[in-house]
């Protein structure tokens, strides 16, 4: 088992978690804008925010899946030692 490699991979996993959390924060901010649009409607901005929300949600899903796969690789390396 190469502990330095596993440590590096765990560091990468932490960065992926940070990316996921950032995307979730963006979704929260987009939701605030969408809520504000209930009081002051703007169809173009609403459409843009809905699109941004979908893209951010897709990013969260993609990063989450990548994290799961990467964590399985880490676990396999740890179990080989």
Tens-level pLDDT at each residue, the chain (81 residues): 689 999 999 999 999 999 999 999 999 999 999 999 999 999 999 999 999 999 999 999 999 999 999 999 999 999 986
What's the CA gap between 62 and 67, in Å, rounded?
9
Name every residue whose Cβ is closer than 8 Å to that of residue 69 and which is 6 or more positions away in sequence. Answer: none
Q: Residue 46 is encoded by which pair of tokens?
A: 């609403």
Q: How many domains does the chain have?
A: 1
**pLDDT value of position 42:** 97
**pLDDT value of position 1:** 61
Please say whether the beta carbons of 64 and 34 come within 8 A: no
**pLDDT value of position 80:** 87
Distance set, CA 6 to CA 30, 64, 77, 80 (Å): 36, 19, 7, 12
Give the structural domain span for 71.
3-80
Angle subtended at Cα 23 by Cα 38 and Cα 46, rounded to the nearest 5 degrees = 25
Name every residue whose Cβ is closer than 8 Å to that of residue 37 and which is 6 or more positions away in sequence. Answer: 45, 46, 49
């Amino acid at each position: 088992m190469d502990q330095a490699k596993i440590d590096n991979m765990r560091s990468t996993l932490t960065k992926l978690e940070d990316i996921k959390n950032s995307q979730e924060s963006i979704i929260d901010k987009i939701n605030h804008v969408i809520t504000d649009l209930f009081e002051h409607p703007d169809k173009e901005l609403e459409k843009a925010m809905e699109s941004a929300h979908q893209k951010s949600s897709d990013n969260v899903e993609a990063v989450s899946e990548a994290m799961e796969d990467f964590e399985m690789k880490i676990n396999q390396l740890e179990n080989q030692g």
